[in-house]
Structure 1
Amino acid sequence: MKNLSSSRFRQVFHLTDLTSLSISSVGPLFSIAAAGGVMIELAGSDVMWAILIIAIPLLASAFIFRLLNQHFPNAGASYHWGRQVMGARYARFQAIVVIVAYFSSLPPIVMPAAQYTWALFFPNQNAPVLALFMISAFWVTFAMIPLLMGSKPTARFTELFLGIEVFSLVILMITALWRFPLLHVKVFAEPHIPWTGIFIAAVVASTIMDGWEIDSYAAEEAKAPTKDPGLSGILGALFAFGTYAILFPLILHETPLRLISNSPDPLSAWAFRIFPSAHWIILIPILASTAGSLWLTTYILSRVLFALGRDRLLPQHFTQMNTRKSPYLAIILPLSLALLIVSLELWVPSLDHLFQVVLSSAGFFLTLEFFLDSLSASWFLTKIHRHQWPHAGDHQHLPLRILSYLTSSLLFGLLGLFLVLAPGLMGSSIDWIVGGIVLFAGFFALQHRGTQPFYVFDPADFIEVESPDK
């Protein structure tokens, strides 16, 4: 073992900070605006079934994450849990999955941010390519500011933008309920329940139900690293599900299905019916939600890259910090690459379809990440926890062990259904792309040889551990 103190984050987050990060990272308004139309196109009026199917294992995962945080708080979170419980090869595979899951989520945030900004100032004009690129560059640069300023400023920026989003959300809900008798439209059930579409929509819905796990990646920056991370994630997950459980039925019952099915922004279509002459009332909170999602998704990815650099799976340049204790390369590089992809989409239309298919796989890899975490928790609770902590009260963890088995099974089933059903709805190339990335992750995992050091966080110290693979 050797001491490591130079690459430490400042422990600044209270439970309220972590909770605001978890809620804002989900970005409920942005999530509905960006993914709601595709989900409604796939599942029709039964879209809430899709949300419920993915919400059950993800809400269960929130409780599992809390257990893993209590035992293994670390900036690498998902990757580190796999390293502690399942071994180095498993963790190397999981590292690629986590990177792909969060990086593939960035360009689909940057592009809408530019489009919403243009629509706010020029609602009746088509946006030129150069203008969209310049606005995208602005938002990428803007997202870097709180992250590079440090953890506490990031939390303060997040709370400000979250306040705008939640206040607008409350106004929208109250007004929608008040005008419900006037706006109500009849929702016709599908002649045959499109279970194929519902299952695919459930995987897509993982992109609107994730984000609350950011508190796990902030564990090293929490004042109570074995207590608060995980708890704030549960609150964030419940808030997200409660928001969707109210908003989606309102949208479906107050907006004709033809206006929101496969719409690039079903939330605005609904909001314009509530406030017909004030488009800015919805665009401003959507932008606030989008901005928060952008820098918080980058936050998660930066902590993963930092942890991988610290464990020498990536160049150690990713561990370099500025004076505010921010890993600046791990922040700047992903955002810059996301902007590059957006620029290629704008100026090379022939590449747009390829990028769209690759980026649409984000839901698959997010689901795969949660599956791997549940598998780690199942093994930990079954084989390790009872032997290493015999007096911890195994009967108290029996519900969590059963929950981890159930969650692993449900997520594995969804992944299998996606691979079987997605080519028919999203194009045959989706399986080839997903399969190629998974094969690369497997090849990367097999490169591990012998022992490899990895870092274990402790609130009182920070140690490097030499451990053989399991």
Structure 2
Amino acid sequence: MSLTTDPPPVAIETTEKGLAAGKLGTFSGAVLGISTVAPGYTLTASIGLIVAAVGLKMPAILIAGFVPMFLTAYAYRELNSRMPDCGASFTWSTRAFGPYVGWMCGWGMVMATIIVLSNLAAIAVEFFYLFLGRIFSNPSIAELAQHKGVNIATTLIFVAIATVVAGRGITTSQKVQYVLVGFQMVVLLAFAVTALVQVARGDAPAQLSFSMDWFDPFSGVALSAFMIGVTGSIFAFWGWDTCLTLGEESKDPNKVPGRAGLLCVLSILVTYLLVAVAVMMYAGIGDTGLGLGNKDNADNVFGALADPVLGWAGPLLLLAILASSAASLQTTFLPAARTMLAMGVYGAFPKKFAEVNPRFLVPTFSTVAAGVVTGAFYTVTSLLSERVLLDTIAALGIMICWYYSITAFACVWFFRGELFASIRNFIFKGLFPLLGGTMLMAVFVVSVRESMNPDNASGAAIGGIGLVFYLGFGILLLGVALMAVARRRNPDFFRRTSSASTLFDLENQR
């Protein structure tokens, strides 16, 4: 293995898609990534799931979910440095493994985004009515979120608004996110510090003492519980890859997206651990009252803790979660629309998806399509499950593990000829992506198996099999059927091989 410095890699030319180039730097890219992750929304939606699975081991599980994400982030960085393309996982896996794997990877990414968009909209609606209820001192307003008809109608309105904003261009998205992300991060920090201060004063309900054992994932957790918890943790970190799908709109497409992704992941980890420790020490993990294990609070932990921790400032936390959900709802359209754009440009999807608005330089049709499918998905799942948020989070973990692991393996395979050229190549292009992909694929397999048991989620089932199985693995199987249809309608894309000298010979022939 050589210790010499590698020669500068030559980037592979990808197809110009008409997006706005040179708009994003490292910081702004990281902000959009953090916005998509939505730490405020994610924590209030996932803490209940993780605590139900592993109890006081929540910090350990958050770290366990972070490790494969961090390792996989290097795969994204290396692939982007060679092939900056808004199709990201779809483009890279197609280049490495061929059209069939690439199509399924792109499908998994798009559907993961659709699932989380519906979840984001639902959380935004819940906190919207909670906030209005507090402002007007009218509990009946807060209860409107529990009325299925009102909930679905309001969620569809939120999705429509986010679709319009996402369709106005990347610059509009960037300016909106600075405000929303900054606000939620400041409020989350204030919430965590205030909770810890109350613990120090002896005013907390649980008054737990800090323990390093909370960070040890190797003791006191059954394998099945560990995997369920890690699935929730992986969901908690999902979204940083938005930085990579915006590569073609970055100031330096070969370097900025990768740096932004790593900055985003590390910032999120620090935030999660601080808040997790604070709420555990303050509320404990009991199944009554403010306990994090209380099923009545599982879908909305911050909704229960806002007033006890912050007092008169409680509505600020509700507003922060609303801002977090709304911000992420808008930015999450970006990777979904751009992946569909790339699939349209390269022939994997109908050509209509390749259209870019000449004024706003965004894939308008793909953005609208994402909004319509999100609204339909949420409506159907809401009618099938009483606790749709819990089920969609579990299903999302399955989807994430699927397409992230494929992307990680694509990095190893694509760079296989240069892995031993230097220690750097071996670690960042080989070892890290291989470890990250293996971990994620293991979680995927176990999660699919566990999802068949309705008791591992909300209890909703179809034919005795958990709804999560259908929302996760079932949608992937649907993708296989749709791929067969796509092959008949767009055969040229499926005729190419991964050994093509350019990224997509099909596009060069047009």
Q: Describe the shift of the 1:451–1:45 C-alpha distance in structure 2 as closer, same or farther (beyond 3 A).
A: closer
Give the structure 2 partner of residue 288 of structure 1.
323
CA contact (8 A) 1:101 1:365 kept: yes
1:439 pairs with 2:469: no
Matches of 1:252 and 1:90 in 2, distance apart?
42
CA contact (8 A) 1:47 1:198 kept: no
Matches of 2:228 and 2:111 in 1, distance apart?
19
1:38 pairs with 2:49: yes
- Partner SS, residue 311 of structure 2: coil
Bigger shift: 231-240 or 184-193? 184-193
Give the structure 1 partner of residue 258 of structure 2.
230
Matches of 2:100 and 2:75 in 1, distance apart?
22
Share of identical aligned residues, percent? 16
CA contact (8 A) 2:354 2:363 kept: yes
1:331 pairs with 2:367: yes
Match of 2:128 among 113, 117, 123: 117
Deviations 1:110-135 (A, max 9, x none): 11111110111124222144543443
Bigger shift: 229-238 or 162-171? 162-171
- Partner SS, residue 87 of structure 2: coil
1:465 pairs with 2:493: no
Give the structure 2 partner of residue 62 of structure 1.
73
Q: Describe the shift of the 1:433–1:155 C-alpha distance in structure 2 as closer, same or farther (beyond 3 A).
A: closer
Match of 1:9 among 20, 39, 53: 20
- Partner SS, residue 313 of structure 1: coil
Match of 2:97 among 83, 86, 101: 86
Deviations 1:380-406 (A, max 9, x none): 232x445xxx9xx43321112111221
Gap regions ≥5 residues in structure 1: 455-461
CA contact (8 A) 1:254 1:270 kept: no
1:24 pairs with 2:59: no
CA contact (8 A) 1:311 1:453 kept: no
Once the two structures are TM-superposed, the CA of residue 440 in structure 1 deviates from its matched residue by 3.5
Q: Describe the shift of the 1:81–1:175 C-alpha distance in structure 2 as closer, same or farther (beyond 3 A).
A: same
Matches of 1:355 and 1:116 in 2, distance apart?
14
Give the structure 1 partner of residue 177 of structure 2.
158
Deviations 1:381-432 (A, max 9, x none): 32x445xxx9xx4332111211122112211221222133333423633445
CA contact (8 A) 1:117 1:135 kept: no
Matches of 1:246 and 1:344 in 2, distance apart?
36
TM-score, L = length of structure 1: 0.87
Q: Describe the shift of the 1:46–1:467 C-alpha distance in structure 2 as closer, same or farther (beyond 3 A).
A: same
Matches of 1:467 and 1:149 in 2, distance apart?
27
Matches of 2:283 and 2:169 in 1, distance apart?
42
Matches of 2:114 and 2:493 in 1, distance apart?
29
Deviations 1:243-299 (A, max 9, x none): 111110111110142332242211233332212344312111111110111111111
Residue identity matched to 1:438: L
Q: Describe the shift of the 1:203–1:4 C-alpha distance in structure 2 as closer, same or farther (beyond 3 A).
A: closer
Gap regions ≥5 residues in structure 2: 1-12, 460-464, 497-501
Residue identity matched to 2:402: L
Give the structure 2 partner of residue 459 of structure 1.
none
Q: Alpha carbon RMSD of aligned pairs, Å?
A: 2.9
Match of 1:342 among 378, 402, 416: 378
Give the structure 2 partner of residue 411 of structure 1.
440
Once the two structures are TM-superposed, the CA of residue 186 in structure 1 deviates from its matched residue by 4.7
Give the structure 1 partner of residue 449 of structure 2.
420
Match of 2:426 among 398, 410, 416: 398
Q: Describe the shift of the 1:119–1:335 C-alpha distance in structure 2 as closer, same or farther (beyond 3 A).
A: same
